[in-house]
Amino acid sequence: MTDSKDCGSADRRVLRTLEQYFGTEIHEEHPLLEQVETRHLAGGDWLMHQGDSGNSLYFLVRGRLQAWARGADGREKGRFLNEIVPGDSVGELSLLTGAPRTVGIQAIRDSLLIRIDREAFDSLAQEHPTLALKLASNVAALLQSSNARAKSSTRNLKAICLLPLDETPRTAEFCSELASQLAEVGNTLSLSADSLGESGAPIHSVGEGEEIPGGLVNWLHDQEDARRFVLYRCSADNATWSRFVLRQSDMVVFVGDASQSPDPRRWELELDESSGAAIARRLLVLLQPASSTPIHGTSGWLAARQVDFHVHVRADQPDDIRRVTRIVSGNALGLVLAGGAARGFAHLGVHRAMRELGLPVDWIGGTSIGAIMAATIACPISDEESLQLARSSFVEGKPFSDFTIPMMSLIRGRRMDRLLREHLDFQIEDLPIPFYCVSCNLDTGSTNLHEHGDLPHALRASAALPGIIPPAIVNRRLTIDGAVVNNLPVDVMQAKPVSRILAVDLSSVAPVEVDYDDVPSPWAIFRGRYLPFSRRYRVPALSTIMLKATLLGTQERVNEQGRKADLLLKPPVRRYGMTEVKSFEQIVEAGYQHAREELTRWLENTG
């Protein structure tokens, strides 16, 4: 990290950043410039650590930062919060109150910031009170929006590093097509080590081992200001250029041909070691054969290299590469599906409406039946096949009729295990649409996040309704339905490279009015149900009571998660019983009609 009290000739980016924040014209002689200093951070450097004493405010001029909360185990990077892009500020509260830093901030690429400390700001505020008022209003706005949806990690991505792991016809074709699709989104400049001169750079090329002149750095920053995207093309035979652009990138896209070995390339390891400071978020794109060939072996690619996300591009599925384009351009959409037992069939109707309205799902996750429906959507099957799969599994397969002696649960769960294995026997990382689900550790109450490994086992864990279905075993621990801790895991989706999140909540609980003042005995209930002329009591089934108790206990958390979504859908399915699988068609249709209406209105309002 390097600091400078001299803002030089008051770089126009510095002026523009200050003007944007304070809402007033800042000229080169403005007294504010005498009170600030510039700070340069190399990729990987920490601007601040959680718990540090704080008395200064920072504005990001160029580059990109990440905010992290310390984990329960003390790790600095315990929980990712969001990314900070040019124009954002950090540290208002510490400037005003001197309170310790509440998060850690790390640069993911070479960055330039403006710093103003408490003493300098106090001096400035005496002479220019309007600046102090503007800061106070910004802090108030910050506090007011503290519960709002977190900023997308793909917000304002500009510099993308494209790094093919092998030079094959498939990788070359993909790189060209991605560049073309990005150009359709916005003005895009594609650069390689040999094409600089053609684009007007101050040098014609960067050879292996050559020093990178400062003039090129400034020129590249100018290109980022003038264009929507700068796409850096790397290759194995020029490590100098690759190391340099890795440190200038907002996201690194590794492109692998799935027909090749998943082992790390030697140059890849050397580049990683020499560019350890370049920690921009990493996306692995695996180029797959046609969809008639099942995806497999993804775990080997993920184990061989450190990446944050991965997606598959099948040779005969044009929307797969469009998904990559949406991710790197900040236009991807995530779908989160809540639990709700038989009401979860509504999720299939919601997805059908999305498809009809041209809203493709780029990432999907859920809990309990929401996890199962999400996995069905993520699988390489058609919408009609998804409906048939759900119908055959839950209506014809009758997984809730697998009763047993109630030692751990009302049903054995073996029928559900068989159905999940029969229809959804995939590895999570091999799914064409990225997927996750959650379950609950029965010992600690902590959340298990399932993003890799055996899909049927993850779904069985996420849908292990307490008292109804036996607990699953995860890492030799009893695990129950994820609805107990997080029935609408929007917070997990916030950490994915999506810019919009749609969530579907099914947790409204219909009131049950009974027709007695004292609870009847089991024999009285039995006589009413099976003997003629006996009084019939309006008694909810034991499974319904258990399901409702699970949902009621997490309703406030569901409400909190729903507020984080860009759009929350609540299909009108409360009149259907939690185990009313015979109403499959009606529940699907209710989800479809509600989603069609709400999504149409949302699209009209958001453009």
pLDDT of residue 351: 97
Which three-class secondary structure state does DSSP give residue 314?
Answer: strand
Q: What is the pLDDT of residue 180?
A: 97
Alpha-carbon gap, residue 437 to 336, rounded angstroms: 9
pLDDT at residue 214 tops 80: no
The DSSP-derived string for 499-558 is SEEEEE----------S-SSPPPHHHHHHHHHSTTSPPP----HHHHHHHHHHHTTHHHH
Quickly list DSSP for 270-302: HHHHHTTT---EEEEEEEE--TTSPP--HHHHH
Own/partner pairs, 266-274, CB within 8 angstroms, 24+ separation: 267/236, 267/239, 268/165, 268/236, 268/305, 270/239, 271/239, 271/242, 271/243, 271/246, 272/305, 272/306, 274/239, 274/243
Q: What is the mean pLDDT of residues 363-370?
A: 96
Q: How many residues belong to the chain?
A: 607
With contact defined as beta carbons under 8 Å apart, do 466 and 546 qualify? yes
pLDDT digits (tens, 9 = 90+) for 220-229: 888 988 999 9
Query: What is the residue-averaged pLDDT of the chain?
Result: 85
Q: pLDDT-derived band of residue 263, with 50, 70 and 90 as boundaries? A: very high
What is the per-residue pLDDT for 401? 61
Question: 363 and 332 in contact (C-beta within 8 Å)?
Answer: yes
409, pLDDT greater than 50: no
Residue 333 reports pLDDT greater than 50: yes
Q: Is residue 277 very low, low, confident or very high in pLDDT (cuts 50, 70, 90)?
A: very low
Distance (Å, rounded) from C-alpha 168 to C-alpha 191? 19
Asked whether the beta carbons of 366 and 373 are under 8 A apart, the reply is yes
| pLDDT score of 291 more than 80 | yes
Task: Examine the pLDDT at 531 and tell me if it is beyond 90.
Answer: no
pLDDT of 285 strictly over 80: yes
What local confidence, expressed as pLDDT, does residue 508 receive?
Answer: 64
Amino acid (one-letter) located at 577: G
Write down the pLDDT at residue 321.
97
Provide the b/e sequence for 528-558 (b: ≥16 CB within 10 Å).
eeeeeeeeebebeeebbebbbebbeebeebb
Q: How confident is the model at residue 332 (pLDDT cuts 50, 70, 90)?
A: very high
CA dihedral of residues 29, 35, 39, 45 (deg, nearest 10): -160
- Match 């958001």 to its residue by tokens: 606
Average pLDDT of the residues in 43-54: 88
Enumerate domains of the chain plus CATH numbers. 2-144 (2.60.120.10), 159-328 (3.40.50.300), 333-511+542-606 (3.40.1090.10)
pLDDT of residue 450: 97
CB 301 within 8 A of CB 286: yes
pLDDT at 275 > cutoff 60: no
What's the predicted TM-score (pTM) here?
0.85
Residue 550 pLDDT: 66
Instruction: Supply 365's token pair.
Output: 């996750």
Query: What pLDDT band is residue 374 in, cutting at 50, 70 and 90?
Result: very high
Sign of the CA dihedral running 501, 506, 507, 510: positive
Least confident piece of the model among 104-113, 123-132, 199-208, 372-381: 123-132
Phi and psi at 373, nearest 5°, equal -65, -40
What is the rounded distance in angstroms from the CA atom of residue 601 to the CA atom of residue 193?
47
pLDDT at 194 over 80: yes
State yes or no: pLDDT of 315 exceeds 90. Answer: yes
On whether the CB atoms of residues 67 and 50 are closer than 8 A, the answer is: no
Which pLDDT does position 174 carry in this prediction?
97
Q: What is the pLDDT of residues 472-504, one digit of tens each?
A: 888 888 888 888 899 999 999 999 999 999 999
pLDDT at 35: 77
With a cut of 60, say whether residue 457 has pLDDT above it: yes
pLDDT of 339 higher than 80: yes
Confidence check: pLDDT of 6 > 60: no
What is the rounded average pLDDT of the residues 266-280? 69
What is the largest distance, in Å, between two alpha-carbon atoms of the chain?
A: 96
pLDDT at 469 over 90: no
Question: Mean pLDDT, to the nearest integer, of 258-273?
Answer: 86
State whether residue 77 is helix, strand or coil. coil
CA distances from 516 to 351, 512, 513, 525 (A): 42, 12, 9, 12
What pLDDT band is residue 2 in, cutting at 50, 70 and 90?
low
Question: What whole-number distance in Å separates Cα of residue 132 and Cα of residue 138?
Answer: 10
Percent composition of the chain: helix, strand, coil (DSSP 3-state, to 5): 40, 20, 40
pLDDT band at 9 (very low <50, low <70, confident <90, very high): very low
pLDDT at 599: 98
Average of pLDDT values for 297-307? 95
Q: How wide is the angle at C-alpha 586 spanned by C-alphas 583 and 590, nearest 5°?
A: 135
**Among 26-40, 66-80, 289-303, 374-388, which range has the highest average pLDDT?**
289-303
Q: Report which secondary-structure segment, H or E, holds 377.
A: helix 369-378
According to the model, what pLDDT value does residue 4 have? 54
Position 153 pLDDT exceeds 90: no
Is-contact 39 58, C-beta < 8 A?
A: yes
Q: Residue 503 in contact with residue 338, Cβ under 8 Å?
A: yes
* Mean pLDDT value of segment 541-562: 74
What span, in angstroms and rounded, lies between the C-alpha atoms of 549 and 296?
40
Q: How far is CA 538 from CA 89, 509, 519, in A?
A: 59, 17, 10
CA 565 to chain centre: 11
Q: 81 is written with which tokens?
A: 């919060």
Runs of H (alpha helix) within 401-474? 414-423, 455-462
Query: What is the percent of the chain with per-residue pLDDT over 90, rounded to a whole number?
Result: 41
Quick check: 535 pLDDT over 80?
A: no
Instruction: Say if CB 348 and CB 588 are below 8 A apart.
Output: yes
Q: Using an 8 Å Cβ cutoff, are 416 and 368 in contact?
A: no
Query: What pLDDT, in 10s, does the model give residues 583-605?
Result: 999 999 999 999 999 999 999 99
pLDDT above 70: percentage of residues in the chain: 85
Of the listed ranges 168-172, 335-339, 580-584, the one predicted with least confidence = 580-584
